[in-house]
Amino acid sequence: MSSSSSRFYYGDKAVKKVKELYPDCVLTQAHELLIHHEGFCEGVYTDDKGVLTAGVGQTKEYFNMPFPDVFNIFLQKAKDLTPNFDSLSEELKAAIVSATYRGDWQLSKKTRQLFNLGKYQEAADEFLNNKEYRERILKDTKDGVVKRLEYIADCIRKCNCVKG
């Protein structure tokens, strides 16, 4: 990441900053997990792929939108891609929203098919069967993206699929 005038927040500090910026937004577990994964940037930066980014990892058409609006767009996408979404545990819903926000859930039709068939182990393995994950693992770093993808795969693997 590169920017000389931006302030970055991670983990709980990022969640706290987003809560300050959007006091009327009630943050769910999915909001908070996503903010933990993405972090928050006060300002603008270029991510490690060369994409101009702001806020909670917001790029392209979402760049200048308020985070709660962007979140709701991706929550709806996650629901549209996951027929039983509303019956999932809160942790798993949060993980799927995080995967959708990154684009991974949309791009892995096979993962979603396996998941929807109840083949959670296979779905988790397929989720990690992607070029970006393999390349980052080869670099032998446990960066934020690797940790995030592994967390999502673990949530799929242990699938507490019913609210409880």
Q: Return the pLDDT at 163.
A: 47
Asked if the model's pLDDT at residue 103 lies above 60, the reply is: yes
Of 22, 39, 164, nearest in space to 91 by CA:
164
Q: What is the pLDDT of residue 164?
A: 42
Binned at pLDDT 50, 70 and 90, residue 106 comes out as very high
pLDDT of residue 160: 57
CA–CA distance, 114 with 111 (Å, rounded to integer): 5
For residues 154 and 24, give the distance between their C-alpha atoms in angstroms, rounded to a whole number.
Answer: 32
Average pLDDT, the chain: 92
pLDDT score of 142 more than 80: no
Reported as a single tens digit per residue, the pLDDT across 31-84 is 999 999 999 999 999 988 899 999 999 999 999 999 999 999 999 999 999 999
Report the interhelical angle of 11-21 vs 29-38 (nearest 10°).
120
6: confidence class by pLDDT, cuts 50, 70, 90:
confident
Predicted pLDDT at 126 = 98
